Chains A and B, each alone.
Chain A
Amino acid sequence: MTENQPALTPERQVEAARKAFDEDIERFVRFCDPAQLAQADLETAVAEERAFAEVRARHLGKKSELAAAKKSIGRVAADMRPAFGQLVRSHEEAMVQQVELIEASLKEHIEAQRTARESIDVTMPGRRPRSGHRHPITLLRERIEDIFVALGYAIEDDREIETDFYNFDALNIPDHHPARASQDTFYTTEGFALRTQTSTVQIHAMQRRGVPVRMIAPGRVFRRDTPDPTHNPMFFQVEGLCVDRGITMAHLKGTVAEFLRRMFGPDTVTRFRPSYFPFTEPSAEFDFSCFKCKGSGCRICKNSGWIELGGSGMVHPNVLRAVGVDPQVYSGFAFGLGIDRMCALMYELDDIRLLFENDVRFLEQFE
Chain B
Amino acid sequence: MLISYNWLRELTNTSLSPQKLRDRLTMVGLAIDAVEMHADDSVLDVEVPSNRPDCLSHVGIAREVTVIERKELVLPEPRSVKMAGRSADLTSVEIKDPDLCPRYAARLVRGVKIGPSPDWLVKRLEAIGQRPINNVADITNYVLHEVGQPLHAFDFHRLSGRRIVVRRAAHGEKLRTLDGLDRELSEDMLVIADAEKAVALAGIMGGEDSEISDRTTDVLIESAYFDPNSVRRTARRLGMDTEASRRFERGADREHVLRAQARCVELICELAGGVATEDAIDVYPQPFVSRVVEFRPERVKGLTSLNVKTDEMVRILTGLGFKSDYFPLEKFTAEVPSWRIDVDQEEDLVEEIARHSGYDQIASELPPSNIPGEYQPTEMKQRSLRRALNACGYDEAITFSFITREEQFELIPALNAEAQTELKNPIIEGATWMRSSLLPGLLNSLRHNLNHGIRDVRLFEIGRVFGVSSDGELPEEPLALTMIATGAAVEENKAQADRELDFFDVKGALEAAVDWMNLSPLVFAGTTAKHLRAGQAAVIKRADGVAIGTLGRLAEAVASAYKFRQPVYVMELDLGSLLSGPERGIQYSPLPRYPSVMRDISLLLNRTVALDEILSAVRNQGVADCRNVMLVGTFAGANIPPDKRSVTLRLEYRSDERTLRDEEVEERHSQLTSSLLQTFGAEQR
Taking beta carbons and an 8 Å cutoff, which residues of A are in contact with B? 125-135, 137-138, 142, 145, 148-157, 159-163, 176, 178, 181-183, 186-192, 194, 212-214, 220, 222, 224-227, 233-234, 242, 244, 246-251, 253-255, 257-258, 270-276, 281-285, 314, 316-317, 331, 355-361, 363-364
**CB atoms of B395 and A361 under 8 A apart:** no
Q: Which of B386-410 contact A (CB under 8 A)?
A: 386-387, 389-402
Known: A132-B390, A134-B390, A227-B428. A250 touches B491 (CB 8 A): no
Contact code string B224-251 (vs A, CB < 8 Å = 1, else 0): 0000110010001000000000000000
Once bound together, how far apart are the Cα atoms of A360 and B397, in whole Å? 9
**CB atoms of B454 and A360 under 8 A apart:** yes
Cβ–Cβ < 8 Å partners of B355 in chain A: 274, 282
Cβ–Cβ < 8 Å partners of A271 in chain B: 360
Known: A130-B393, A188-B421, A282-B354. A149 touches B374 (CB 8 A): yes
Once bound together, how far apart are the Cα atoms of A110 and B301, in whole Å? 88
Chain A residue at minimum C-beta to C-beta distance from B301 = A248
Which listed residue, A131, A154, A161, A253, touches B390 by the CB 8 Å rule? A131
Of the candidate stretches B24-32, B253-261, B647-655, the one touching chain A is B24-32
Given contacts A126-B492, A135-B395, A248-B305, 5 further A-B contacts (CB under 8 A): A132-B394, A249-B362, A250-B305, A258-B366, A359-B449
**CB atoms of B373 and A153 under 8 A apart:** yes
**CB atoms of B454 and A132 under 8 A apart:** no
Cβ-based interface call for B49 (8 A):
yes
Cβ–Cβ < 8 Å partners of B29 in chain A: 273-276
**CB atoms of A250 and B363 under 8 A apart:** yes
Cβ–Cβ < 8 Å partners of B78 in chain A: none
Cβ–Cβ < 8 Å partners of B236 in chain A: 181, 183
Cβ–Cβ < 8 Å partners of A358 in chain B: 395, 397-399, 442, 445, 448-449, 459
Q: Could you count the A-B residue pairs with CB atoms below 8 Å apart for me: how many are there? A: 267
Cβ-based interface call for B84 (8 A):
no
**CB atoms of A186 and B426 under 8 A apart:** yes
Interface of A is mostly: mixed
Q: Which of B410-450 contact A (CB under 8 A)?
A: 421-428, 434, 442, 445, 448-449
Cβ–Cβ < 8 Å partners of B375 in chain A: 145, 149, 155
**CB atoms of A161 and B475 under 8 A apart:** yes
Cβ-based interface call for B560 (8 A):
no
Cβ-based interface call for B46 (8 A):
no
Which listed residue, B26, B27, B395, B423, touches A186 by the CB 8 Å rule? B423
Cβ-based interface call for B466 (8 A):
yes
Min C-beta distance of A256 to chain B, whole Å: 9
Once bound together, how far apart are the Cα atoms of A215 and B28, in whole Å? 29
Cβ–Cβ < 8 Å partners of B40 in chain A: none
Min C-beta distance of B173 to chain A, whole Å: 24
Min C-beta distance of A347 to chain B, whole Å: 15
Taking beta carbons and an 8 Å cutoff, which residues of B are in contact with A? 26-29, 31, 49-52, 228-229, 232, 236, 301-306, 342, 345, 347-348, 350-351, 354-355, 359-360, 362-367, 369-376, 379, 383, 386-387, 389-402, 421-428, 434, 442, 445, 448-449, 452, 454, 456-460, 463-464, 466, 469, 472, 474-475, 477, 489-494
**CB atoms of A273 and B359 under 8 A apart:** yes
Cβ–Cβ < 8 Å partners of B372 in chain A: 152
**CB atoms of A254 and B365 under 8 A apart:** yes
Min C-beta distance of B469 to chain A, whole Å: 5
Cβ–Cβ < 8 Å partners of A255 in chain B: 366-367
Which listed residue, B359, B373, B390, touches A151 by the CB 8 Å rule? B373
Chain A residue at minimum C-beta to C-beta distance from B351 = A282
Cβ–Cβ < 8 Å partners of A234 in chain B: 400-402
Cβ–Cβ < 8 Å partners of B365 in chain A: 250-251, 253-254
Q: List 24 A-B contacts (CB under 8 A).
A: A130-B490, A132-B458, A132-B460, A135-B396, A149-B373, A149-B374, A151-B373, A152-B371, A155-B374, A161-B466, A178-B232, A192-B474, A214-B369, A220-B464, A233-B427, A233-B428, A247-B367, A248-B304, A254-B365, A257-B364, A273-B29, A356-B400, A358-B395, A363-B396
Cβ–Cβ < 8 Å partners of B474 in chain A: 159, 161-163, 192
In order of increasing CB-CB distance, the 5 nearest A-B pairs are: A274-B29, A282-B351, A125-B493, A358-B445, A276-B49
Cβ–Cβ < 8 Å partners of A159 in chain B: 474, 477
Which listed residue, B52, B354, B389, B469, touches A192 by the CB 8 Å rule? B469
Cβ–Cβ < 8 Å partners of B379 in chain A: 145, 155
Cβ–Cβ < 8 Å partners of B402 in chain A: 186, 233-234
Chain B residue at minimum C-beta to C-beta distance from A257 = B364
Once bound together, how far apart are the Cα atoms of A101 and B345, in whole Å? 105
Once bound together, how far apart are the Cα atoms of A307 and B489, in whole Å? 43
Once bound together, how far apart are the Cα atoms of A132 and B355, in whole Å? 49
Chain A residue at minimum C-beta to C-beta distance from B445 = A358
Min C-beta distance of A285 to chain B, whole Å: 8
Min C-beta distance of B97 to chain A, whole Å: 17
Min C-beta distance of B236 to chain A, whole Å: 7
Chain B residue at minimum C-beta to C-beta distance from A308 = B31
**CB atoms of B364 and A282 under 8 A apart:** no
**CB atoms of A214 and B393 under 8 A apart:** no
**CB atoms of A160 and B50 under 8 A apart:** no
Once bound together, how far apart are the Cα atoms of A191 and B480, in whole Å? 25
Min C-beta distance of A352 to chain B, whole Å: 12
**CB atoms of A317 and B302 under 8 A apart:** no
